Amino acid sequence: MGTYISKADTSVALLYLSVTAFFGGTVFYKARKKKMEKANTFVCGLLLLSLEILCFAMLRSYAGLLLFSGACLISYICLPVRSMLPVDNKAVLITGSDSGIGHALAKHLDNLGFVVFAGVLNKEGPGAEALKRSCSQRLSVLQLDITNPTQIREAYLAVHPLSWLQCGLWGIVNNAGVLGFLADGELLPMSIYRQCMDVNFFGAVEVSKTFLPLLRKSQGRLVNMSSMAGGVPMPRLAAYSASKAALSMFSGVMRQELSKWGIKVAVVHPSGFRTCRYLTFQLQEKHLMENLMPDVKTDYGEDYILALKNFLLHMPSFCGSDLSPLLDDVLDALLAKSPHGLYTPGKNAYLALCIFCYFPLWFYDFFIGKSLCVKILPRALRTKVQPSPGPDDILPRAGRLV
């Protein structure tokens, strides 16, 4: 005789699933906010899953459901939060502190009690002066062009004599970076590819190699600021994405190699945040136009290239203005006893990575195309009936033949 499942059993089973989904979603959200240790969360989840099966199998009633719900509640309350190290005047070097993320991060860590060495491209510039005015005496501004080996060495000599600090140099945050002009990879001149690699990759590598002897002594942290575009392919960011992907891979290898020295390495893949980068690199348009091959210029058309400039100008409207998720992640990477190897702060950064990793590529291409494609097509792909593009033809929707 087959096993008979009553309607009551079905109702109880659905309630079990509802409790499990609610509890799992709540714990996942809390873990994503870095308030729980992932290892403890995983072990707790396995134990509760076993208890759920046991309760349903032996107590197919609301009594078992109440027992399981109570166990979930107690587990949620008792799960240990993430352990953080004290600040204790820990010293951190931040590159690219003139403006944007680096500037905000230098102020944030100074307010928390860190000893901050803020590397800037121009020590006499407005960004450096703002840091001097608004921050404490613990913050020092260093002239640091990360593409200049001499300035990197001088910064090392300025940071090295830290005998007055208990732990020496605790952290390096490689934040300095350039975006370049947003355009199809075929349109970008080689100078932009080289500039992105020099700043975003080679500069970060040289800073890391120079200061790592100090991190070995403190068993500190190396934090590299990559990008969502360094983990997933995105249109019109070929030079930037390639350089950030190189930095992400470098970070992964260094995480493995430096673990034996007690150094923790983390890479941050933020989504778009509203910084001055999106406004300062539009001047490269003229350089791009002057370096195009005649046939490439003809096939794409000047109106298509000018529309890319408008796309760049509209980028800030699609970016978040609240930097706190990013600042919180960097702080976690610096102070958590068990920091994550990868952080994805910002809107859709984690979602895009999941879609790229776990879905077919055609689906990811469709997803990112709907998000970032411009309306206008290159001249050679347009039909004669398509009207000339206007200044507003840069909305984020898929292009199509008309």
Catalytic residue annotation = 240
Phi, psi of 224, deg, nearest 5: -110, 125
Torsion angle, alpha carbons of 248, 253, 255, 257, to 10: -160
Asked whether the beta carbons of 376 and 393 are under 8 A apart, the reply is yes
Nearest one of 276, 146, 129, 134 to 199, comparing CA atoms: 146
| Cα dihedral sign, 40-43-46-49 | negative
Q: How far is CA 355 from the centre of its chain?
A: 16
For the record, the structure tokens of 63 come out as 């009594």
Nearest one of 87, 154, 88, 90 to 119, comparing CA atoms: 154
- The CA-atom distances, in angstroms, between 312 and each of 199, 239, 318 are 20, 15, 11
Burial-class residue 76 by CB neighbours within 10 Å (0-12, 13-18, 19+): middle
Calpha distance 188→288 (Å, rounded): 6
Interacting residues of 85 by C-beta distance below 8 A, sequence separation 6+? 335, 336, 337
- Per the rule left: phi > 0, alpha: psi between -120 and 50, beta: everything else, 82 is beta
Torsion angle, alpha carbons of 214, 220, 225, 227, to 10: 140
Asked whether the beta carbons of 201 and 243 are under 8 A apart, the reply is yes
